Structure 1
Amino acid sequence: MGPILAVGMVGRIPGVMSVSAVGRLPGLTVRRTDKVTPAETNGIGVAAARTDLLDTLSATVRSGAFLNPATGRYPVVVLGAVAADRLGVARAGGDEQVYIAGRWFTVIGVLDVTGLAPEIDRSALVGWTYATQAGFDGHPTTIYERSTDESVTSVAGVLAATVYPEHPSEVDVSRPSDALTIQLAAASAFNFLFLGLGAVALLVGAVGIANIVIISVLAARRAARLAPTEALSTV
């Protein structure tokens, strides 16, 4: 886990436009009711989230609202898109509640699919302040930063040492945008493939039509050549 001051340190790197973080809360599960066994996790993790997380991830809220300095002090939760589907919570902002760590949490928001951070889609997010009051040590487990295009490489080169100067080798730096680029490239390749197949199909169809036309013309010419002979033999 990174140092408590890591988020602020990353924010001071030249080229970084925004930075936020989540802190995983191991051992906690989120359940639809207190009647469900704690072993039924549905693959949903619980994490403390900073209030500026959505801005950094360019994520949006499907319904309800995200955590803010006021709501982040109370037992409320925002569900990722996948987490909400697995818990059967269609919308937020009403009386929907889930059960976390032995108490009920009000669902104040449901997120759209994030795209850049699929782990957020499978998470139940509680306020950073509330989690700290409940025993969270304040150390981020995942830091998200957004930098300018021209500074991506230089920022990536100093992130590990900035986040954990004593043990930079323990920091794993990844670029979700690379995965999206590969996905877009694959999608483009498939699009070109389908366009190519469509062009081949049109070509085959055109050749078939041309053959039919040619055969028809030859048959008409053959009939024209045979017609005088048939007429003479009739006489």
Structure 2
Amino acid sequence: MDNLLALATDPAAWAALVTLVTMEVVLGIDNLVFISIVTNKLPPTHRYKAQRIGIALALVLRLALLGTVAWITRLTEPALSLFGHAFSWRDLVLLSGGLFLVWKATTEIHHNVTGDVHELADETVSAAHTMLTPRAAIAQILMLDLVFSIDSIVTAVGMTSHVAIMYIAVIVAVAAMLVAAAPLSRFIEQNPTIVMLALSFLLVIGMTLIAEGFGSHVPKGYIYAAMAFSAFVEGMNMLARRARLHRRQRRAG
């Protein structure tokens, strides 16, 4: 209790908390985009339940990993060596997660590009291919939750030594994900062009995880700046399309 009171009156602890919450929220965007893409392929009756389960699993995983901080720090130690390069368990987790994201994003991009042809050929078969079962969706979310959780906790351990600050930051970040999940999912569903942009983000994130797994650090600021700029350009395109539609409607009326 004394330690908590000391932290509450320490300006450095508050600065660390704000920084860590911001970092956790930003890192959570990757996870949230993936959850939205996957759950949008579920029937509407199961969609939001799967989102809540996926985000709850993210919270449980991160809190559980925070309870084993000493073990988490050992994940960065070399575990095996291949082709003259030493890999830690964290590297292997990031590699597997990155490869899964690249595969998932590439598969979804392929489906979006060829989807119209399949639907014209056979709408029933297309619908069967686009729909996931809730269990399959949650399994995919759980796998990526584990990857993002380990990356998030390792980063948090490097920023502060106070476990209480880490717990608060994780809870705040996951609460923000829970609030943003449904609106983001609806926005992606209502704007088909955003789906391709989101899948491109997942592809970039997957390649970044692979690079990190091989020991090549990619500054996250560059990645998120590029993503923000792409989202801004797409937002301008959406406004332009909406303005053209309104002009056509006025002329028709």
Higher strand share: 1
Which has the greater radius of gyration? Answer: 1
* Structure with higher RCO (Cα < 8 A, 6+ apart): 2
Higher helix share: 2
The TM-score normalised by the length of structure 2 is 0.30
The TM-score normalised by the length of structure 1 is 0.31
